[in-house]
Structure 1
Amino acid sequence: MSIARSIICLFFPLLLCLNAGAQPRLKKEISIQERWALINSAAQDSNLVDLMIEQGQHYVWMPEKLRVQLDTALLLSSRAKELAQRIHYQNGYMEARLLGVKALLEGRQLTQVVDLIRISTDKVFVVHAQMLVGISYLERPYSNKADMDTAGIWFRQAFYESRKIGYIKGRRESTRLLGRHYFESHNIRAGKEMYLGIINELHTEHNYLDEADWWIDLGYRIPDHDSTFTEKAEYMTNALLIYIRLRDIPRQIWVWGARAEVYRRQGKLQLAEAGLLKVLEMERAQGDKYLPRNYIQLMDISLFRSNLNKALGYGLACVQAIDESGDSSMAGMTYEKIGSIYSQLNDPTRSIEWYRKALTVYERNFDKGPVSRINYFLTKELIKLGKTAEALAMLHRTMKYFPPVHSLNKELVAGAFAACYTEMGQYRKAEQYYHQMLYWESRTRLGNEISAITYYSVGKFYLERKQYQQAAIYLDTALSITPGRTPVTMVKDMHLMLFQADSILNRNASAIHHLRAYQLLSDSIYSATHVKELEEIQVKYETSQKEKDIAALRQQSRMQQKQIKQSNLLKRVTFGSIILLVLLLLLSVNRYRLKQRSIQALAIKQKEITDKNSSLQRLVEEKEWLVKEVHHRVKNNLQIVMSLLNTQSNFLESEAALAAIKDSAHRMQSISLIHQKLYQSEYLSLVSMPSYIHELVHYLEDSYRGVVRIFFDLHVAPVEMDVSQAVPMGLILSEVVTNAIKYAFPNGKAGSISISLDYIGDAKLLLVIADNGKGLPADVNFAEGKSLGIRLIQTFAAQLDGQLEIESKNGLTVRLTFHQQ
């Protein structure tokens, strides 16, 4: 049922008028790519939510959607819902959720939708979701009684839930859907009751705008039937009167067109034409340049009335309106209608020209339905010119690239193949295709021009095969279709063929009736179609086209003149640029040569510098080697001096002399260690103090017996000290430690000596040597410096420009503060 309704909409522009809804002036449609660009660049606001919902709905309502498109719609629904919730956009949140429901239903995932309805606490969402489920059953392809009943159940659930929660909008919308359900189930009375109940309610509330919309929807939804056409026109009139009272011009235009379509389908072509002319007048007064759809409807009406002159005039005016508006959305249908006019004028050459223009438009848009229809009419015209093989090749191409989907299109394609095989004399094969036509007609039963074409074609086939009884049956069926839905030229031919069949079947009265009808229609068509007037219309159109071509040629000539001027200018600029480039090239070559000379000079200087640096490096290395050699020799000389002292001590008997020699040896060792560190180090003027102090202390430990009873506690920071400071500091350390070992712990008493060297400020060092021995005697005056050791310590401290402190309390503590160089 829903497919039949969709096919009606393809051929009759009523839906064009009604799609405008409450907004007769629709915003410009944008492509998927343009909308994605807007989505990617939009701010995180309600506008982005609306864009994502709109894009998702586009994927959901695509005629031949893929799984990936439905998944994209679900993803857009989820993101729109999250954003709407974050920015507190309630309407967008609801629409995003409902988009998800639509996508799931289109993907046949009804179980998930039912689960969403069951767990949802938002009753308004539940109502809308229930209505969407019902619509999915109502509009299911080839829906049956079970589908209709299921749709009714869901609509009633939505109605009762809306009434329960006091949701007026939901109650009215579910009532509308129940009305549609009854209409689809052929219960017209119940459907009207649903609509009229809400209409009365809106009228009582003085909600006239919504009331008018409901009148129009009722007129559109009530099924087409000879008994309902008057009611449909009456409902449209009710809406029109409301819009006139509200002074709503756009909606008045809309309803005038909708009612004209009802009259056209009813067969009241004069009323339909008057209504469309009224629409044309009002749209022109409004300054609307988009008039093609009205011209197309007027063309249809003139065709059905066999007023081919007027039909052609409307058609060519429509082409002009398309050219002026720049909107080619109606171009395919316009070209198709003009092709049909020339076909009825028995001008196959021009008919084919316009049909092919229409085919180009439809194929570019990949619109399979119109492609099938155009190929049928093209086939008939090509056969007239004896190009049957070309027509058959075209049909095979159509089946490969644009195979028909709906029953109506399959019906037409079968008819085209049947016509080809009939012309080729393959009657058995042709008859098979005619049977296919009848089969697909039985699936649609629209009772329109296509139905008439089917029965007319089959009847003509059997008449030519001299099967007069069968021919009469099909021709009578074609003739029974409501007047106004079949072109008069076809009706005329039906009467002629029925006259021939009835004459042979001895149905004389019927034959005479059909003969008179044929003669009457022939006279009517002849009187309505004046060859001279047609030629004038054609000449006028061709003149207009030639004027456009001349204007285009003039424009092209101006463009060519402009291009020639630009070309000449470009040549001059190019020539000047070449000269400039040559000059720049010469300058560049000259600069390059100068640069090369500079580079060569620099390279020579660089070599000289490198050679000097290498020479200096060798001198530095030689100097370092010499310095290391000096330190090594000094250390060796000191070792020789120490050996001499040790040898001399073997020949001395005085204890004082032996002690003096031993102390001198210790001092020599302190200096020797420094020179040893220097020639072993990479840095010839810096001594690593942690390593030096540890080695010096170990040496002093090894020099005296019984030192094992003394514990040494060392805390030395990683200090690198210049040799000029390391020597006096080492001698101070040697003097203090030697005195502590010798005098601080008499009679083999155990004790400890602590040594620490650390920074106490920027480049400021503190040396602390302390023991826990008996300390200095009370009568010793450090300031007088009578002993050699004290004088040496004072002298070395002065060399370091340091501050020396000696404290004899709980042992002896020596503190030396100095700045590192």
Structure 2
Amino acid sequence: MNVKKVVLIFFLIVACKKQQQETSKNVDLKKFDTGLLESTIDSLLNIGSGYLNKSESADSAFYYFEKSLKLSQSSNNKYLENKSLHYLAKLAFKENDYPKGIENYTRVINYFNKTNDQWSEANTLMELGNALFLKENKIKSYEEINEIFNKSLSIYSKLDSKKNQADVLNHMAHCYLNDGKLILANNKLLEALALYKSVNYRNLHHTYHLLQLVQNIQGNLEKSLYYSLECVKSMESTKDTLNAQLYYHFVGENYSAIGNHEKSLEWYHKAIKIKSPEDRTLLYHIINIASKELLILNRKQEALDLILSVAPLDASSNQPTIEEAKGYVYDAVGNKKLAEKHFANMIALYQKDSENTPVPRHVSLAYLKIGTFYVEQEYYTKAKVLLLKSLEFPAGTSSVSNKVKANLMLFKTDSALGNYKSAIKYYQRYKELNDSIFNETKSRQIEELQIQYETVKKEHDIQSLKNENLIQNSKLAKTTILKNFVFGGLILFFIVSLLLYRSYNSKQRTNRLLVSQKGEIAQQNTSLQELLKEKEWLLKEIHHRVKNNLQIVMSLLNTQSNYIKNPEAFSAIKNSQHRLFAISLIHQKLYKTENATLIDMNSYIKDLIGYLKDSLDMNSNIDFKLEIEHIMLQENQSIPVGLILNEAITNAIKYAFPNQEKGMITVIMKKQINNYFISIKDNGVGIPDSFSWHTSSSLGMTLIKGLTNQLDGDFKIKNKEGTLIEIVFVNKTFSDIYTQNF
């Protein structure tokens, strides 16, 4: 700033002060050059902004901003007046004068709206939303804050600014998350992620971090782990490690939630090693939960050493965390009295500062922890009060995992107190929540996520080693060339060295080519494995949907049969239902087994006969004798076999024993050398002597003959102390079926 401007600022400040003291005197500011006046106001704002970011200079900042505002108003410069108001709005929020801050922000936003400066209006709306959000729902509700963000989003959408739209969606999702509206939060985050990716924005870790928080609270542990690993991957690839401690800590928490405590501890140690900022609240929290992992692994002394190594507390906000950790450790080493003291201190501190607690789920977890402690000490009445408090928080503010444990503890408490009806209710709730979190599929997905992350990490390490090797090879080549120059006088040696170098270089190229080809082959194998997994999954999905569609058709036929009076039509519909079930059962077996192409005929035939017994209202006079080997058939063979069995067994049940006499139906299926043999025999009335299956035109017999031909088999039916049907067909491999079909 030059001398002329300093003098001018001094003069204007004195003039304004005198105007306040003597209202009758009016300094005519129009005498000043307009350009100098604007420069002066800008200088005042620059000086004030320097004080704005200093903790003890709020009065100085206000002084310069107020002077710039009055000069702007006196000169009727709306732009600079608005700029001054903007700075005063920021200062008001810093000084906790929220009504004044909101008023000034509103005036600034209205100015931008009036002048149609859409960019500035959207930016200021987002700034106001952030300022209110950082005050943790104390000034306006999260719903009101999101209304402000939504206005900003609407303007950014009109301007087609995808990056800014994604930023606003992130802020809105964070509000929904803190307000317990997890579905809305998840939807907004997925929208933001799609927008970021559409503009190739790489810093996705904050969005992934919020997604993993949402999934963790909902109890979707495999998704929570996936997003936390993606968060770390994004952070490390962009080298934006400002929040590395936070992100590593959440990976550890997710591994702990799925029971992998060794892996969890590895990530916690990784987080602890990072240099902490001045506010060490997160570090103390990580030390707290790391000590619990050590206790779970029965490393009690390490846990105690870790807690006692904590530096003196920086702020009171850390005290509940450390009190909790000490409670766990002293409980583990057997000092129950000290443990209870520290747990009680933790609750007292949370209750004392409940208005300033930013995340309600921390308080809920605190009640759960001390409640669990009292259950273990058999102080059941005390325990129940605290456990119920842990469940009082609104849905979405406490994780499903914590609710699972709280309901289990309440079950134990009420059982001990003799409240058995209430205990059963809590146990049912515990099972319901626990089953929603863990199942075999989720466990397998979690293991796959862990393997994927380890694979990527190893590939990254291998690539780093390769790069180091290339650098070393480059240095070696330079050294060789330098030596060749030193001994350049020796022509013969130079020629020999040159030939050796060329040979060496050729080998290096060959080696690099081989390594590259090996990498490509490995990559292709990996891709093929993934495609194979996808194909199996899709095949199971197809079988599932086919089964569902067939069951829908069966239901429609069943409904139709209720309206049919004609016995023949009714019988035809029932027969069709049986045939459809025989086919749908095949597809059900296929999608429920690991191998989506083979059917265990032993299990299938038993299920089919069970269905026919129920659906045909079979009397108890008919018994079944089954001699079924465990034969695995392809779908192309199992469907015809199922339909043949359906027709033959249905006919035997309906017609073999017309007078309800005691009867036996024998079903045999076994493997011969190169064939399969099927026999369906009853000891009923048999078939008429005039019957010829060669010329019979009944639908059932036509189906059996046609399906036997489809199997390339032989079919026989005869009287032998009843009716005997025998079918022999070729044992075909998958390649035989594939060749036949194509």
Q: Equivalents in 1 of 2:270, 2:254: separation in Å?
A: 14
Q: Secondary structure at the match of 1:333?
A: helix
1:225-273 CA-partner distances (Å, limit 9, x unpaired): 5993333333322221121122233321211111111111122222212
- State the 1:397 CA deviation: 2.2
1:273 aligns with 2:186: yes
- State the 1:541 CA deviation: 1.7
199, 214, 218: which one aligns with 1:305: 218
Q: Equivalents in 2 of 1:217, 1:319: separation in Å?
A: 27
419, 427, 449: which one aligns with 2:336: 427
1:97 aligns with 2:6: no
Alignment RMSD, CA only?
4.0
Q: Equivalents in 1 of 2:49, 2:226: separation in Å?
A: 45
Q: Equivalents in 2 of 1:492, 1:296: separation in Å?
A: 24
1:342 aligns with 2:286: no
Q: Equivalents in 1 of 2:160, 2:314: separation in Å?
A: 44
- 1:355-504 matches, within 5 Å, as 355-363=268-276, 368-399=280-311, 403-441=312-350, 442-443=352-353, 444-504=356-416
Q: Secondary structure at the match of 2:274?
A: helix
Q: Secondary structure at the match of 1:398?
A: coil
Q: Equivalents in 1 of 2:470, 2:90: separation in Å?
A: 61
1:535 is aligned to 447
Conservation of the 8 A alpha-carbon contact between 1:475 and 1:498 = yes
2:237 is aligned to 324
437, 443, 465: which one aligns with 1:525: 437
- State the 1:563 CA deviation: 4.2
Q: Equivalents in 2 of 1:534, 1:560: separation in Å?
A: 39
Q: Equivalents in 2 of 1:95, 1:575: separation in Å?
A: 70
Conservation of the 8 A alpha-carbon contact between 2:89 and 2:102 = no
- State the 1:415 CA deviation: 1.1
- State the 1:407 CA deviation: 2.9
CA shift in 2, pair 1:527/1:101, >3 Å: same
Q: Equivalents in 1 of 2:102, 2:440: separation in Å?
A: 41
Q: Equivalents in 2 of 1:264, 1:528: separation in Å?
A: 28
1:333 is aligned to 246
- State the 1:504 CA deviation: 3.3
Conservation of the 8 A alpha-carbon contact between 1:362 and 1:370 = no
1:245-302 CA-partner distances (Å, limit 9, x unpaired): 2223332121111111111112222221221122121112212122111111111111
CA shift in 2, pair 1:298/1:204, >3 Å: same
1:598 is aligned to none
CA shift in 2, pair 1:127/1:538, >3 Å: same
CA shift in 2, pair 1:196/1:514, >3 Å: farther
2:533 is aligned to none
Conservation of the 8 A alpha-carbon contact between 1:293 and 1:330 = no
Q: Equivalents in 2 of 1:161, 1:89: separation in Å?
A: 11
Q: Equivalents in 1 of 2:137, 2:50: separation in Å?
A: 37
1:241 aligns with 2:150: no
Q: Equivalents in 2 of 1:262, 1:337: separation in Å?
A: 20
1:59-80 CA-partner distances (Å, limit 9, x unpaired): xxxxxxxxxxxxxxxxxxxxxx
Q: Equivalents in 2 of 1:205, 1:496: separation in Å?
A: 61
Q: Equivalents in 2 of 1:289, 1:242: separation in Å?
A: 24
Q: Secondary structure at the match of 1:289?
A: coil
Q: Equivalents in 2 of 1:214, 1:509: separation in Å?
A: 57
Conservation of the 8 A alpha-carbon contact between 1:452 and 1:486 = yes
Q: Equivalents in 2 of 1:424, 1:282: separation in Å?
A: 52
Conservation of the 8 A alpha-carbon contact between 2:368 and 2:387 = yes
Conservation of the 8 A alpha-carbon contact between 2:215 and 2:223 = yes
Equivalent position amino acid for 1:241 in 2: S
Q: Equivalents in 1 of 2:106, 2:422: separation in Å?
A: 46
2:525 is aligned to none
CA shift in 2, pair 1:224/1:330, >3 Å: closer
CA shift in 2, pair 1:520/1:161, >3 Å: farther
Gaps of 5+ in 2: 7-34, 490-742
Give the paired residue count: 449
* Structure of greater Rg: 1
1:735-793 CA-partner distances (Å, limit 9, x unpaired): xxxxxxxxxxxxxxxxxxxxxxxxxxxxxxxxxxxxxxxxxxxxxxxxxxxxxxxxxxx
Q: Equivalents in 1 of 2:487, 2:347: separation in Å?
A: 75
Equivalent position amino acid for 1:212 in 2: A
CA shift in 2, pair 1:126/1:218, >3 Å: closer
Equivalent position amino acid for 1:316 in 2: L
- State the 1:568 CA deviation: 5.3
Bigger Cα displacement from structure 2, 385-394 vs 475-484: 475-484
TM-score (norm 2): 0.53
Equivalent position amino acid for 2:397 in 1: R
- State the 1:210 CA deviation: 4.3
106, 118, 122: which one aligns with 1:212: 122
1:799 is aligned to none
Q: Equivalents in 2 of 1:411, 1:529: separation in Å?
A: 37
CA shift in 2, pair 1:426/1:270, >3 Å: same
Q: Equivalents in 2 of 1:179, 1:368: separation in Å?
A: 25
